[in-house]
Amino acid sequence: IAGITQAPTSQILAAGRRMTLRCTQDMRHNAMYWYRQDLGLGLRLIHYSNTAGTTGKGEVPDGYSVSRANTDDFPLTLASAVPSQTSVYFCASSASGLVTDTQYFGPGTRLTVL
């Protein structure tokens, strides 16, 4: 059982380029999340999806977009990357989206924007 997989593991990207971070889960969880982790700031929620076909904005959504075409996949797109988007990005999922649910995290994608 893989749980949550993220791709790529790491990426160096030129500013202005478009980039999609991939996230796939095999647990049939309804809810999925994207966080960014920055030193000294902890994790901040970018976007979330409580079920396939719906998405919502988190704390820091600007410059990012998501889609949830099916239960398993939740890609995060940076339309035009900027250096401030240099971060480690974590995808997570939970069974139902209830606030008491445990969230399961992927291994992360380290993104550097130059």
- Residue 75 near other proteins by CB under 8 A: no
- Residue 40 near other proteins by CB under 8 A: yes
Which two three-digit tokens encode residue 68? Answer: 């949830």
Interatomic CA distance for residues 73 and 49, integer angstroms = 11
Residue from 21, 92, 111, 113 binding other proteins (CB under 8 A):
92
Interatomic CA distance for residues 77 and 6, integer angstroms = 13
Three-class SS string for 73-84?
Answer: ECCEEECCCCHH
Which two three-digit tokens encode residue 9? Answer: 């593991």
Residue 46 pairs with which residues in a beta bridge? none
Is the CB of 22 or the CB of 44 nearer to other proteins? 44
Is the CB of 81 or the CB of 89 nearer to other proteins? 89
- Residue 51 near other proteins by CB under 8 A: no
Which residues are near other proteins by CB under 8 A? 4, 33, 35, 40-45, 48, 50, 56, 58-59, 90, 92, 97, 99-100, 102-108
